[in-house]
Chain A
């Protein structure tokens, strides 16, 4: 049995055009509240992995702790609720790329610690190893530290519970390799990379069951402003360089191949 808490928030749909704008509280995205959002891709992988693990370990339960603007959380939960069973713990606050990982982690850790009935000895804290917004790759470790968990894994592609209760994990490391570790068991923090599970199909029955708890959770979402203490973003801009692309048409494959090989060889 595991108690699995997935930390994950919303991010603008990756296919949207993003443009930074300066606001009173620092930089933000142009029309941010109008952009369609999704559950952060790596956090979504973490949620799917959590659900699969909970299915295989009877008595397990999955929570999703999410810090984001309440309206956006509600929009995203309409979709995510149909994917896998979970109980939402919602925090109403900023989720953009310019929020500070330390403050975000503090809010998430407090929310995890406040979950009623949570068995900390069987706790697995899941999340994406990086977000699609800040891309810090730091939040999960900070959450783990605040919860006193020192067995932490980042960039995980696979987790297997072994017959003796220990856990085998495969983490991405430098040079296109994986590191394999075995941990004695929970509590663990796991920052997921892509994993091997596909996005589950929508299941209206799961959606209806989830929405019974999601709507009340959204209604009582605690206001969680982030102070950005000591952090100043002095500049945020889109890459300015647009390349002048030379379009080569009507060359034979032989001509193109010669040109490419000459370029590769530095001619």
Chain B
């Protein structure tokens, strides 16, 4: 009989992320399908009590905590030691965790230390007749599959936004403290800071309702034979400010600059969606000036409602992939859209 551990870490303010609650929800449902009595929650951080209390009523029967000042930051060596200790203390055969950047970096190595296996980017988790099955995408979101494993422990990292999050009242959780030895050999790396856009210049908003995808067409010659990158930047930034949308770029910054094209100055590597970028999850997506067939289209694979503005009515980016394709000039459309949003209409 499998036993389940939900392995979580605190955020920098000692809170829990939405994806952590999604992992709790997935583990709770999996426990029900397997018919196991309760599950465990393991928490790692510099201070864990607030986060543990936040999931006190989730149905977990045991709580474990690894606390240490060195766990305030995300660092492979210390995180792996703490995660390994909690997994061993729980004795769980299935470890469900959110695919945060911190766990994505750490838990594969922990699986090796435990003699188990790891699967990442899992988008679905369930059990039939006692057999646990995970679904995930292959070839950069181009095909989906389901898999089972006989090895244990099996660490399963759930993609954010893929499953329903657990919600419930906070309470008072009593956790078994797991000692972790974080000696000098594990602290050769010092986290010196976080680089983030200044307030007001942020273009990536994971919680936004809308993803705005800016294609390479924005920086190409327009009908008058000229490039209008400055106008494009103004239109896009004005739209992002008014709509609070998250910005995705359909082509990598490196590729654009390498091909001698002008580049939208506010784009960073992190804006890229698609084959060598991210595949964010948002309820709605508006693609503008995007071109190309698969694999570029995988950038908005997980967008629920999709619309596109493009001059080519047969563009592979939109045909069969978008719900609505507006065949029009994106410069003119976004100018009007911005005017309407500014008017509050």
List which A220-248 residues lie within 8 A (CB) of chain B. Answer: 229-239, 242-248
Q: A41-B276, A194-B269 are in contact. Are A176 and B202 (CB under 8 A)?
A: yes
What residues of A have a CB within 8 angstroms of the CB of B117 in the complex? 100, 102, 230-231
Contact of B195 among A170, A254, A259 (CB under 8 A): A170
Contact of A246 among B141, B254, B257, B323 (CB under 8 A): B323
**Are A235 and B275 interface neighbours, CB within 8 A?**
no
CA distance in complex: A231, B134 (Å): 11
Q: A145-B109, A180-B191, A257-B340 are in contact. Are A194 and B254 (CB under 8 A)?
A: yes
Contact of A135 among B76, B118, B138, B147 (CB under 8 A): B138
- Among B113, B137, B327, chain A packs the most CB atoms within 10 A around the CB of B327
A113 in contact (CB, < 8 A): no
CA distance in complex: A146, B323 (Å): 48
CA distance in complex: A261, B338 (Å): 9
Q: Which of B36-44, B47-55, B169-177, B328-336 contacts A (4 or more CB under 8 A)?
A: B328-336
B4 in contact (CB, < 8 A): no
CA distance in complex: A243, B336 (Å): 27
CA distance in complex: A27, B196 (Å): 41
**Are A138 and B275 interface neighbours, CB within 8 A?**
no
Q: Which of A57-65, A115-123, A153-161 contacts B (4 or more CB under 8 A)?
A: A153-161
What residues of B have a CB within 8 angstroms of the CB of A141 in the complex? 76, 105-106, 108-109, 112
Nearest A-chain residue to B205, judged by Cβ? A176
What residues of B have a CB within 8 angstroms of the CB of A177 in the complex? 194-196, 270
List which A181-229 residues lie within 8 A (CB) of chain B. Answer: 181-185, 193-199, 229
Cβ proximity bits B94-130 to A, threshold 8 Å, 1 near / 0 not: 0000001110111011011100011111000000000
**Are A179 and B284 interface neighbours, CB within 8 A?**
no
**Are A246 and B101 interface neighbours, CB within 8 A?**
no
A-B contact pairs, 13 of them (CB 8 A): A17-B294, A137-B121, A141-B108, A146-B112, A151-B77, A178-B194, A180-B194, A199-B258, A233-B147, A243-B320, A245-B324, A257-B336, A261-B337
Given A229-B151, A230-B117, A237-B145, 12 more A-B residue pairs with CB atoms under 8 Å apart are A135-B138, A142-B109, A154-B105, A176-B204, A179-B101, A181-B192, A185-B188, A231-B117, A242-B320, A243-B323, A245-B318, A246-B323
List which A161-180 residues lie within 8 A (CB) of chain B. Answer: 168, 170-180
Residues of A in contact, count (CB < 8 Å): 89
CA distance in complex: A185, B189 (Å): 9
Nearest A-chain residue to B319, judged by Cβ? A245
**Are B105 and A174 interface neighbours, CB within 8 A?**
no
CA distance in complex: A205, B287 (Å): 43
Q: Which 9 A-B pairs have the closest CB atoms?
A: A176-B204, A257-B336, A138-B108, A236-B145, A198-B258, A230-B150, A141-B108, A97-B138, A152-B76
What residues of A have a CB within 8 angstroms of the CB of B336 in the complex? 253-254, 256-257
CA distance in complex: A4, B78 (Å): 24
What residues of B have a CB within 8 angstroms of the CB of A112 in the complex? none
What residues of A have a CB within 8 angstroms of the CB of B119 in the complex? 136
A126 in contact (CB, < 8 A): no
CA distance in complex: A17, B276 (Å): 17
**Are B145 and A235 interface neighbours, CB within 8 A?**
yes
**Are A243 and B306 interface neighbours, CB within 8 A?**
yes
A-B contacts counted at CB < 8 A amount to 275
Nearest B-chain residue to A138, judged by Cβ? B108
**Are B309 and A18 interface neighbours, CB within 8 A?**
no
What residues of A have a CB within 8 angstroms of the CB of B258 in the complex? 198-199
CB distance from B68 to the nearest CB of A (A): 16
Contact of A138 among B118, B193, B254, B325 (CB under 8 A): B118
Interface residues of A (CB under 8 A from B): 12, 14-15, 17-18, 20, 27, 41-42, 97-98, 100-102, 105, 132-139, 141-142, 144-146, 150-155, 157, 168, 170-185, 193-199, 229-239, 242-249, 251, 253-254, 256-261, 263-264
**Are A194 and B276 interface neighbours, CB within 8 A?**
yes
CA distance in complex: A230, B77 (Å): 28
CA distance in complex: A202, B16 (Å): 49
**Are B190 and A260 interface neighbours, CB within 8 A?**
no
CA distance in complex: A134, B122 (Å): 12
**Are B138 and A243 interface neighbours, CB within 8 A?**
no
Q: A145-B109, A145-B113, A194-B276 are in contact. Are A237 and B144 (CB under 8 A)?
A: yes
B62 in contact (CB, < 8 A): no
**Are B112 and A145 interface neighbours, CB within 8 A?**
yes
Q: A142-B109, A230-B149, A261-B341 are in contact. Are A194 and B323 (CB under 8 A)?
A: no
What residues of A have a CB within 8 angstroms of the CB of B275 in the complex? 14, 41, 132
**Are B194 and A98 interface neighbours, CB within 8 A?**
no
Q: A233-B145, A248-B327, A256-B333 are in contact. Are A179 and B74 (CB under 8 A)?
A: yes
**Are B139 and A176 interface neighbours, CB within 8 A?**
no
What residues of A have a CB within 8 angstroms of the CB of B138 in the complex? 20, 97-98, 133-135, 236
List which B140-187 residues lie within 8 A (CB) of chain A. Answer: 140-151, 185-186
What residues of A have a CB within 8 angstroms of the CB of B337 in the complex? 257, 260-261
Cβ proximity bits B73-88 to A, threshold 8 Å, 1 near / 0 not: 0111100100000000
